[in-house]
Chain A
Amino acid sequence: GESVGLHLPTLSVQEGDNSIINCAYSNSASDYFIWYKQESGKGPQFIIDIRSNMDKRQGQRVTVLLNKTVKHLSLQIAATQPGDSAVYFCAENSDNQGGKLIFGQGTELSVKP
């Protein structure tokens, strides 16, 4: 289930299931989006990115979907594995924010074996 508040939103899935992590962004001028994975004690690790002229991009076991109409980004992970357990951050970039990456709050993914 999900919880929001003082703690990170969490998503708990069974190993082998597909996971969907969602992200809402507020800046309609954002034109580049990235998903990062962060394991405990490590820095964010790049997963996949997408530019605003696309609405879908696929990688190995991951797909990013971009809906600019409702300013929504999602990360789909196929056949989720225990090694996918981590915190996932979306980040956006736009020229009117000086071109730097702005990160969202993050979602904690927990994979049950």
Chain B
Amino acid sequence: GAGVSQSPRYKVAKRGQDVALRCDPISGHVSLFWYQQALGQGPEFLTYFQNEAQLDKSGLPSDRFFAERPEGSVSTLKIQRTQQEDSAVYLCASSLTGLGEKLFFGSGTQLSVL
């Protein structure tokens, strides 16, 4: 596609539910990143893939957060047993090669946990 595509655009979950957020990066982009953005804050790094390999997951806030990119293209961020503090916008970004270059962001998934 022309840009990074994320779905769903909005997700409302009851506390304790599991959610799955999808990211479709720009075709041919090797690297994929997930960021979390709280209201009024800058994006915060969650995790990074190069092809199908998850090279850095240091930003994942807890073991309830899990990301995968099994075929080196589409990625899914899964949050288990959602809590209210998980409410945020989850941004996906991709880059042509890897680290140290500009990222192209999707529009994000706004997650609200009630």
Q: Please tell me if the beta carbons of B102 and A46 are within 8 angstroms of each other in the complex.
A: yes
Tell me whether chain B's interface is mostly helix, strand or loop, or mixed. loop
A42, B4: Cα distance in complex, Å: 12
- Confirm or deny: B66 has a beta carbon within 8 angstroms of a beta carbon on chain A: no
CB-defined contacts of A41 to chain B, threshold 8 Å: 107
Q: Does A32 contact B (CB under 8 A)?
A: yes
User: Is there contact, CB below 8 Å, between B98 and A102?
Assistant: no
| Residues of chain A within 8 A of B58, CB atoms compared | 98
**B42 near A103 (CB under 8 angstroms)?**
yes
Q: Which residue of A lies closest to B40 (CB)?
A: A8
Is A34 positioned at the interface, with any CB of B under 8 Å from its CB? yes
The answer to whether B102 and A34 have CB atoms under 8 Å apart is yes
- Let me know if B102 and A100 touch, CB within 8 A: no
Further 19 A-B residue pairs, CB within 8 A, beyond A7-B40, A34-B102, A98-B56: A6-B40, A8-B40, A41-B107, A42-B108, A43-B91, A43-B93, A44-B105, A89-B42, A93-B100, A100-B33, A100-B45, A101-B45, A101-B103, A102-B45, A103-B35, A105-B42, A106-B40, A106-B41, A106-B42
Q: Mind listing 15 A-B residue pairs with CB under 8 Å?
A: A36-B105, A42-B108, A44-B43, A44-B105, A46-B103, A89-B43, A95-B100, A98-B48, A98-B99, A99-B100, A100-B33, A103-B35, A103-B44, A105-B42, A106-B41
